[in-house]
Amino acid sequence: MDSRKKTGAAALAGAAVTGLIAFALFLAGGLLLWADHHYKDADGFLSTGSGHFSSPAYAITADDLRLHGGHDWFVSRDRYGTLRISASARQPVFVGVARTHDVERYLRGVAHSEVDDVELGPFTATYAMHAGSRAPGAPVNQHIWAAEAHGSGRQSLTWNVRDGDWSIVVMNADGSRSVAAAVSAGAKVPYIATFGLAALGLGLLFILGTAVLTVYGTRPAPRRAALAPA
């Protein structure tokens, strides 16, 4: 195989790679834009359905909000978006967000259930149980919450997510035992549409690259001039 055929084959191989990348970018961009348009509620949140959480203890906690980003000069303070947590129960319910170390101090020695895993189809939640013999003070009287909501019926809090280690806490508003509530979560995530459009733009660039490599790889080899007889 001469050098022309080798470079043509390499160009076609490159075209196959760039074509796959373009397809992935178009798919990702399209899905982001579709989700941004179809899954938002009236308030602009991407929301989950309600799941039933229950515990015989004093509180249910989720300690999965661990966010440590860059400096504010690089990305704005709202880079993580806004979180909305809603809870409803038969009795007055409390839902709050606080720093994990403050929640651990508040619930030290208090029996509570930490959400360990959640399955969505069908919805089931498993917990890590923390034993304790102390009764906590009512959560509404604590001053640790970055955001909170409490009362009868459906209660919702909204919180502009910030750097740090955070926990979500669901309790009875009076701090009593036996917590049972339907909880849903929603997020207003910035830049989803921007990321989707950026992915489509990059996909277009890779499509152009694919076209150039394909044309280069399939062009016919130049004809050699015939040698004149001696």
Residues 35, 50 within the same domain: no
List for the chain the helix, strand, coil content (%; round to 5): 30, 35, 35
pLDDT per residue over 190-222, tens digit each? 666 677 777 788 888 888 888 887 877 777 666
Residues 13, 109 within the same domain: no
Strand 164-172: give its sheet, edge to edge.
123-130, 112-120, 59-67, 164-172, 93-99, 145-151
Q: Structurally, how many domains does the chain consist of?
A: 2
Mean pLDDT on 116-141: 88
Residues 101, 140 within the same domain: yes
Q: Which amino acid belongs to residue 177?
A: R
Query: From CA 62, how far away is CA 74, in angstroms rounded?
Result: 29
Residue 224 resides in a domain: no
The CA-CA-CA angle for residues 42, 48, 52, to 5°, reads 125
Mean pLDDT on 95-119: 93
pLDDT per residue over 59-101, tens digit each? 999 986 665 554 443 334 445 678 889 999 999 999 999 999 9
11 has a pLDDT exceeding 80? no
Q: Which domain holds residue 30?
A: 3-39+192-218
CATH at residue 90: 2.60.120
Residues 140, 196 within the same domain: no
By three-state DSSP, how is residue 166 classified? strand
Residues 71, 152 within the same domain: yes
Let me know: does 55 contact 147? Beta carbons within 8 Å.
Answer: no
Query: From CA 180, how far away is CA 93, in angstroms rounded?
Result: 9
Residues 56, 105 within the same domain: yes
The confidence score (pLDDT) of residue 77 equals: 44
Residue 226 resides in a domain: no
Q: Which of 110 and 219 is assigned the larger pLDDT? A: 110
Under DSSP, the state recorded for 70 is: -
Q: Would you say the pTM of this structure is higher than 0.85?
A: no
Residues 196, 177 within the same domain: no
pLDDT per residue over 131-142, tens digit each? 999 999 999 999
Residues 157, 206 within the same domain: no
Residues 124, 199 within the same domain: no
Nearest-CA neighbor of 60 among 159, 208, 177? 177
